[in-house]
Amino acid sequence: MKQRDVVVHSGRLVDPAAGLDAERDLLLRDGRVAAVEMPGGLRALQETELVDAGGCIVAPGLIDLHVHLREPGQAWKETIATGTRAAAKGGVTTVVAMPNTLPVNDSVETLAWMLAPERDAAVRLLAMPAATRGSLGAELTDFAGLVRAGAVGFTDDGKPILEDGIMRAALVSAAREGVLISQHAEDTRLTALTGGSSGVNAGALAFRLGLRGMTIEAEARLVERDIALLAEIERNEGLRPHLHVQHVSTARALAAIRAARQAGVHVTCEATPHHFTLTEDAVRGYDTNAKVNPPLRAAADRDAVIAGLLDGTVDCIATDHAPHAQHEKQVEFDRAPNGLTGLETSLGLALCALYREHGASIADIVTRMSTNPAALLNRSDLGTLAAGSAADIVIFDAGAEWTFTAGRSLSRSKNTPFDQALMLGRVRTTLVGGQVVYTDPDSAPS
């Protein structure tokens, strides 16, 4: 049956890719944006479904480059179905699934299983398979075959691609396929000495808590190594590899990225909402929901991440949504797994911290959460609502304050340090391919 046309009207369209921040009405047809018109310009159309966006921002749906959906293999934490419903509630219309599943997503078979309709994804699902077999860091996966099967990049996330030679080969192969390498930047040769992925920043607080901290050097040194590789490959191979640095958390790594950009190599990076809102103080009471890798840092590093978001050094906001069951997190701090959920709080935290407190514009927020991530994936049909692009839309009330309650999350897991935190900007409706995938029950139009 043919899908009915949808008209989204009365909202303020913020579409940085199209250079638009103005009142516009949208016509959605066959999963795409068919027309962008002045307010009221689509009134004459018959037989359309109307979505009233009065008082709200209408923006291209958010794109989250870094989520853990735990399937296959760890369905007690999350499934593709539950994780993508949490995404829809958060206004996220595209998620990129990380490969640290069981088994590791390192083959065309596993990738196809993840992307199959039977997984019942509520939003657009993309995947970055492992760069090395089993993410063991030794042997590259079949980049060409995986890209044909839908891979949008490669990563061994959860772990770094550590060996110089393997990282170099991964960057070269990815460049040939026209995709990026997304690096979890942690020099585990340094962190192994201090107790592995400790989940807490090295420094006075970690000392006082009797926890082994993770140093700034562990992140910065690997970023610096990777940037050196990019430059060397450009010189010697005539290729232009794209390095994407995940969840950057330190001023020093940001400085390296900023300098590399100026030098002209292709490096991009993401920051998580928890790294630009919280500091290491959140683990003061041994709260395992604030245990994350890289760890929450001191205020100076948190402020550097904010500055990087404001000056454009940080290209995008990604959540590193990492669900864990209560029984896994409700243990001694050292024994708890790293990670926290984030899909339902990313927009609310970005608006709170960057828009309200630091003066970023709504367009800046949309740029970091939709426009730029689409560009990193070379997806010109996403991250914009220009005519012809995918009808993936988030409609949100940018002025609405609300309190997040972890217990009401659609994720299967509730491991978040933001339970009962104040959010700004309420998602009213989320559409993917022109279809409503989420409607705020508190604001459903009568």
Partner 1 sequence: MVSAKATGPHSPGSLLSVEDLSIADVSTLLSLTSRLERMQHAERSQLLSGRRVALLFYESSTRTRTSFELAAKSLGITTTLVSDKSSSIEKGESLKDTGLTLRALGAECIILRHQHSGAPVLLERVTGLPVLNAGDGTHEHPSQALLDLRTILTRLPGLERDVVDARSLAGITIVITGDILHSRVARSNAMLLPRLGARVILCGPKELLPEEAFGLGANVEIERNFDRALDGANVIMMLRIQRERLAGLELDLTGYMAHFQLSQDRLRTHAPHALVMHPGPMIRGLEIAGEIADGPQSAIEDQVRHGLAVRSALLLRALASADETRRLAGEVRL
Residue 359 is a binding residue for partner 1 (CB under 8 A): no
Alpha carbon 270 to its chain centroid, in Å, reads: 8
Q: Sort strands 393-403 and 57-60 into parallel, antiparallel or unpaired.
A: antiparallel
Nearest approach, Cβ of 201 to partner 1 (angstroms)? Answer: 11
Q: Which of 143, 154, 396, 418 binds partner 1 (CB under 8 A)?
A: 418
Give whichever of 91 and 199 is closer to partner 1, judged by the CB atom. 199
Residue 381 is a binding residue for partner 1 (CB under 8 A): no
Q: Which of 38, 116, 144, 422 binds partner 1 (CB under 8 A)?
A: 422
Give whichever of 158 and 213 is closer to partner 1, judged by the CB atom. 213
Q: Which of 254, 282, 360, 432 binds partner 1 (CB under 8 A)?
A: 282
Residue 352 is a binding residue for partner 1 (CB under 8 A): yes
Which range, of 121-129, 158-166, 351-359, 369-377, touches partner 1 by CB under 8 A?
A: 351-359
Residue 287 is a binding residue for partner 1 (CB under 8 A): yes
Structure-block tokens of residue 246: 């995940």
Distance between CA atoms of 112 and 428, rounded to whole angstroms?
32
Structure-block tokens of residue 367: 């740029």
C-alpha count within 13 angstroms, C-beta hemisphere, residue 324: 22
Q: Which of 142, 195, 225, 255 binds partner 1 (CB under 8 A)?
A: 195
Helices 164-177, 216-237: axis angle to 10 degrees equals: 60
Give whichever of 6 and 351 is closer to partner 1, judged by the CB atom. 351
The single residue listed with the structure tokens 């990225």 is: 257
End-to-end CA distance of the chain: 26
Distance between CA atoms of 417 and 403, rounded to whole angstroms?
13
CB 276 within 8 Å of CB 220: no
Residue 263 is a binding residue for partner 1 (CB under 8 A): no
Output DSSP code: residue 319. -
Structure-block tokens of residue 21: 């921040």
320 counts as catalytic: yes
324-343 residues near partner 1, rule: CB under 8 A: 327, 330-335
Nearest approach, Cβ of 252 to partner 1 (angstroms)? Answer: 18
Residue 347 is a binding residue for partner 1 (CB under 8 A): no
CB 70 within 8 Å of CB 406: no
Q: Which residue ranges make up the site for partner 1 (CB under 8 A)? A: 193, 195, 202-211, 277-278, 281-282, 285-287, 289-290, 327, 330-335, 349, 352-353, 357, 417-422
The residues carrying an active-site annotation are: 320
